[in-house]
Amino acid sequence: MAEALKRNLFEDVPIGAADEVFEEILAHGDVRIERIVSNGQRSPNGFWYDQAENEWVILLSGRAGLQIDGDDDVVVLAPGDSVNLPAHRKHRVAWTAEDGPTVWLAVFY
């Protein structure tokens, strides 16, 4: 594999950033892949993501709680856990770990 194609998703993880960090890794046609790094952030009160595309997300490190509109329980995510969110399925980040970075990989399709 050419070195230029190699990427480690755990390199250069921003630690302690005031805001979540969204980094596009790849975009091609109707597919977009992002690395998201959270450092204790959560969605603002009353805010819901309502996206036009489907999203599959996997938690790579850290911990997080995801709230899905219409569900009473918060989905607690640990490393390796994934969630598939159909387009326009409203959701929000209830919480992310405050003791270190939470790294997500999101695939929009």
Confidence (pLDDT) at 28: 97
Residues 6+ apart with CB under 8 A from 20: 36, 37, 38, 39, 41
Structure tokens at 95: 């919480």
Pair 85, 78: CB distance under 8 Å? no
Confidence (pLDDT) at 2: 61
Confidence (pLDDT) at 5: 83
- Spatial separation of the C-alpha atoms in residues 45 and 19, rounded to whole Å: 15
- Spatial separation of the C-alpha atoms in residues 33 and 22, rounded to whole Å: 10
3: confidence class by pLDDT, cuts 50, 70, 90: low
- Spatial separation of the C-alpha atoms in residues 93 and 67, rounded to whole Å: 6
Q: Give the global pTM.
A: 0.91
Domains (range + CATH), the chain: 17-108 (2.60.120.10)
pLDDT 10s digits, 15-57: 999 999 999 999 999 999 999 999 999 999 999 999 999 999 9
pLDDT 10s digits, 40-99: 999 999 999 999 999 999 999 999 999 999 999 999 999 999 999 999 999 999 999 999
Confidence (pLDDT) at 4: 72
